[in-house]
A and B are shown apart, each in its own frame.
Chain A
């Protein structure tokens, strides 16, 4: 069976600085992988390279999503193929209502996949249901996207987008940053509801805390642009106790 995501020897740099240094990672369908590691290890870079953010140069390696060459696809095409990045710092778009953004994104993806676009009332109905599950006030849907949202609202909004777009592969970049414990619980519940047999997740985080709520199947340690250790969920607890120092010196 083809892995959902297959990264082989991925090397990437930005502004001539090598960040990813031969990274291998395989995520199967239905699996949740946590990627932990010290600052500057390349965690966010991995999420940006996968999603195709401009500015990163791929200098080696291959990435396959459902057997298809991901790196050959334009960023919006990757999204339509089911790659979703939950941003660490979601962006604000003044004047664009959250609901409008959700509808535009959903229909843009559907159109790219050759599916019929959904009418505004249909989208509204779906969004309302999902918003309720995430304790999102329907009034928030009318507000301009992320403008004046609290940290918790922004992350709930990311989760709402993820739920609506029903991606195949979710990449959560430091979803726990800026969240208090209540907001963390709501977001984690939302993410857990999205766990499915045909969907994979990569949860990038500094801290073990998030993994108490989103329990991973596999934990990786990323240091100096490579996966240096892989284990079960207990690895996260171990890291919490020992820190990253040993891996940093190993990688160097």
Chain B
């Protein structure tokens, strides 16, 4: 497995405590005043040149949020967050309006280079069509809507997407340019009143991606966004909305890294997906935010609400996630299977090391007839981390013929970590078929020795065994993401044994 080799090289280049992506770019920021109030919400809305209805929407959410309390049911433990001690908006100060990649602050481009994000390459690839018969999957085009801190600074491939009729732009732009679509769908999957963090996001969301795929269109490329938290003490409140109209298809990739910090950083994103009749959305995430240092200090708090609505008949939504970062992860990408024969999938790899705490899983809510869902969850706990799978599968009274298959596997590395599985299963009609399988195993010393006797180092051996453990899920990722994810998995387990 060449990736294992590369991983080892990469791991050698970094010190144990030095997060690879822990650098800071020095760029002047345009910040909202610290703390949260109606003024902050107005400031953000104004910065974005938002129409009045959007500000109203935000303010309603803010007022609702004031009445809510933080959820405490997840198996995570962290000091109380002082919401008045955070900045809610930060944007790189634009010198002028950006029309092409060349005009982007070179400092920002350098950051992307360090992250290994081929923004320039992607731009260069544009128009380079592979010759027939020379279809190289690695050169499939990816459109990047780059989110630097909170503002999208570059959007590529716009022209080609436009030709296909696909709208892919920062949501702040979509609010101005496609208010009808945004108004129709924003909050229709995750309402402003949904939960503490989603409501907070609704009030102060800074930016994110907006995708609309018109009826019958197969999106000509994978859509990709790289998130990066860069400003000290800045909460990140991404908002993503993806709509696949009748008979359309879109695949969206999301990847995250963040610089090293001593203070905890709050991230509360909301992602909403809507799939109409016969439409399919594939949403893949590789999450690698700063997990805190070896003493458990610092790291990102990741409180995310991701939900897909299979609104139409025969629609399909598939979530695939590789979660390796963050100090705290609180995340349950879910599917509402509303349309008849609709299908939801959740493939997850959640890795925790050091003092990381992961409470993640999914909800499959079967409402329509003959709906089906599939959950494959692989949790890997190392170091002193706690890793919980929490999932809900429910069939409504009218959801006749609902089917679910769930497999939750946990792998423990070392004896100071914990893996937990908390499945909730509810069937309100007798025709539902739900299957649940769960296993917990420990990485075997004998297996590691076997690998080491064949010449692998301890790290390589762990990487190999773990990559084998998560193979079913890795296969669900688009090729370019799978390679990155495989490396990430080995890197994140660095120092977990021995």
Chain A positions near chain B (C-beta within 8 angstroms): 51-54, 75-76, 79-80, 84-85, 87, 90-96, 100-101, 103-109, 111-112, 117, 120, 144, 161, 165
The answer to whether A108 touches B454, judged by C-beta atoms less than 8 angstroms apart, is yes
Q: Tell whether A54 pairs with B4 under 8 Å between CB atoms, given A95-B469, A144-B468.
A: no
Asked if B450 and A87 sit within 8 Å, CB to CB, the answer is yes
Hey, which chain B residues are within 8 Å of A52, CB to CB? 453
Contacts A76-B453, A79-B452, A101-B451 given; 4 further ones with Cβ under 8 A?
A53-B449, A79-B453, A100-B464, A104-B5
| Binary contact readout B167-193 vs A (1 if CB under 8 angstroms, 0 otherwise) | 000000000000000000000000000
User: B440-470, CB under 8 A of A: which get 1 and which 0?
Assistant: 0000111101111111111010001101111
- Find out whether the CB atom of A91 lies under 8 angstroms from the CB atom of B455: no
Question: Within 8 Å of chain A (Cβ to Cβ): is B194?
Answer: no
**Contact among A54, A80, A85, A107 for B5, CB-based, below 8 A:** A107
Do A51 and B453 touch (CB < 8 A)? yes
Distance of A159 from chain B, by nearest CB (Å): 14
> How close is A25's CB to chain B, nearest CB, in angstroms?
20
- Chain A residues in 8 Å Cβ range of B452: 75-76, 79
- CB neighbours (8 Å) of A112 from chain B are 455
Q: Cβ of A144: which chain B residues have Cβ within 8 Å of it? A: 468
Bound-complex Cα distance A80 to B470 (A): 28
Contact A94 B445 (CB under 8 A): no
Q: Does B398 contact A (CB under 8 A)?
A: no
* B222 interface contact, C-beta 8 A: no
One of B454, B465, B467, B470 near A105 (C-beta < 8 A):
B454
List residues 446-498 of chain B with CB under 8 A from any CB of chain A: 446-447, 449-458, 460, 464-465, 467-472
Inter-chain contact B450/A90, CB cutoff 8 Å: yes
User: Of all chain B residues, which has the CB nearest A94?
Assistant: B468
Least CB distance, A57 to chain B, in whole angstroms = 16
Evaluate contact between A105 and B468: CB separation under 8 angstroms. no
Instruction: Please name 12 pairs of A and B residues whose Cβ atoms are closer than 8 Å in the assembled complex, sorted by A.
Output: A53-B449, A53-B453, A75-B452, A79-B453, A90-B450, A93-B465, A100-B464, A101-B451, A104-B1, A104-B460, A105-B455, A108-B457
Distance in Å: Cβ of A35 to nearest Cβ of chain B: 18
- Tell me if B468 and A117 are in contact (CB < 8 A): no
A84–B452 alpha-carbon span in the complex (Å): 11
Q: Is the CB of B456 within 8 A of A95?
A: no
CA–CA, A106 and B454, complex, Å: 8
Asked whether, in the complex, the Cβ of B449 is within 8 Å of the Cβ of A93, the reply is no
Q: For residue B469, give the distance in angstroms from its CB to the closest CB of chain A.
A: 6
Given contacts A79-B455, A105-B456, contact A96 B465 (CB under 8 A): yes
B449 touches A75 (CB 8 A): yes
A54, B449: Cβ atoms closer than 8 Å? yes
Residues from chain A with Cβ under 8 Å of B456 in the complex: 76, 104-105, 108
Most chain B C-beta atoms within 10 Å of own C-beta, residue among A51, A53, A117: A53
A66 to chain B, nearest CB (A): 17
Chain A contact surface mostly = helix
B3–chain A nearest beta-carbon distance, Å: 10
B447 touches A93 (CB 8 A): yes
Asked if A165 and B469 make an inter-chain contact with CB atoms under 8 angstroms apart, the answer reads no
Task: Report if A95-B467 is in contact (Cβ < 8 Å); known contacts: A100-B1, A108-B460.
Answer: yes
Q: How far is the CA of A103 from the CA of B2 in the complex (A)?
A: 9
Residue contact B464 to A104, C-beta cutoff 8 Å: yes
Of A85, A90, A92, A93, which is within 8 A of B464 by CB? A93
Docked-complex contact A91 and B447, CB < 8 angstroms: yes
Rounded to whole Å, the gap between the CB of B86 and the closest CB of chain A is 41
Given contacts A54-B449, A104-B1, contact A161 B468 (CB under 8 A): no
Q: B452 to nearest A CB, angstroms?
A: 5
A163 to nearest B CB, angstroms?
Answer: 13
Q: Are B454 and A165 in contact (CB under 8 A)?
A: yes
Interface centre among B445, B468, B472 (most CB of A within 10 A): B468
**Bound form: Cα–Cα A156–B455 in Å:** 19
A95-B468 in contact (CB<8A)? yes
Smallest CB–CB gap between A116 and chain B, Å? 12
List the B side residues contacting A101 at CB < 8 Å.
451, 454, 464
Chain A residues within an 8 Å CB radius of B468: 93-96, 144
Output the nearest chain A residue to B472 by Cβ-Cβ distance. A95
A111 to B457, CA, bound (A): 11
Q: Mark B402-421, 1 if CB is under 8 A from A, else 0.
A: 00000000000000000000
With A91-B447, A95-B472, A107-B5 known as contacts, the answer to whether A165 contacts B467 (CB < 8 A) is no
Q: Which of B444, B458, B467 contacts A91 (CB 8 A)?
A: B444
A76–B453 Cα distance when bound, in Å, is 6
Q: How far is the CA of A146 from the CA of B456 in the complex (A)?
A: 17
User: Which of B451, B458, B470 has the most chain A CB within a 10 Å cutoff?
Assistant: B451
Contact B447 A79 (CB under 8 A): no
Distance of A220 Cα from B446 Cα, bound (Å): 28
In the complex, chain A residues whose CB is within 8 Å of the CB of B444:
91
Which residues on A sit within 8 Å (CB–CB) of B458? 76
CB-CB under 8 A from B451, the residues of chain A are: 93, 101, 105
List, in ascending order, chain B residues with CB within 8 A of A93's CB. Answer: 447, 450-451, 464-465, 468
User: Which residues of B lie under 8 Å from residue A106 when comparing CB positions?
Assistant: 455
Q: How far is the CB of A225 from chain B (nearest CB, A)?
A: 22
Q: Identify which of residues 278-321 in chain B touch chain A, using a CB-to-CB cut-off of 8 Å.
A: none
Chain A hits for B2, CB < 8 A: 107, 117, 120
Q: For the complex of A and B, list the 7 residue pairs with the smallest distance between their C-beta atoms, beginning with the closest.
A: A95-B468, A96-B468, A109-B455, A105-B454, A95-B471, A79-B455, A91-B450
Identify the closest chain B residue to A119 (Cβ): B2
Are A91 and B454 in contact, with the CB atoms below 8 A? no
State the CA gap A161–B469 with chains docked (Å).
22
Complex: chain B residue closest to A106, CB-CB? B455
Interface centre among A85, A93, A108, A161 (most CB of B within 10 A): A108
Q: Are B5 and A111 interface neighbours, CB within 8 A?
A: yes
**Chain B residue, CB-CB nearest to A105:** B454
Q: Which residues of B contact A111 (CB under 8 A)?
A: 5
A244 to B457, CA, bound (A): 39
Interfacial chain B residues near A85, Cβ < 8 Å: 453
Report whether B455 and A76 are in contact in the complex, using a CB–CB cutoff of 8 Å: yes
Chain B 1-18, CB within 8 Å of chain A: the 1/0 string? 110110000000000000
Residue among B445, B447, B454 with the highest chain A CB neighbour number at 10 A = B454
Known A54-B449, A91-B446; contact A96-B454, beta-carbon cutoff 8 A = no
**B5 and A95 contacting across the interface, CB-CB below 8 Å:** no
Within the complex, the shortest CB–CB distance from B485 to chain A, in Å, comes to 14
Contacts of A107 in B (CB 8 A): 2, 5
A80-B454 Cα distance, complex, nearest whole Å: 8
A85 CA to B446 CA in the complex, in Å? 13
With both chains docked as a complex, state the minimum distance between the C-beta of B482 and any C-beta of chain A, in angstroms: 14
With A94-B469, A95-B467 as known contacts, state yes or no: A76 contacts B450, CB within 8 Å.
no
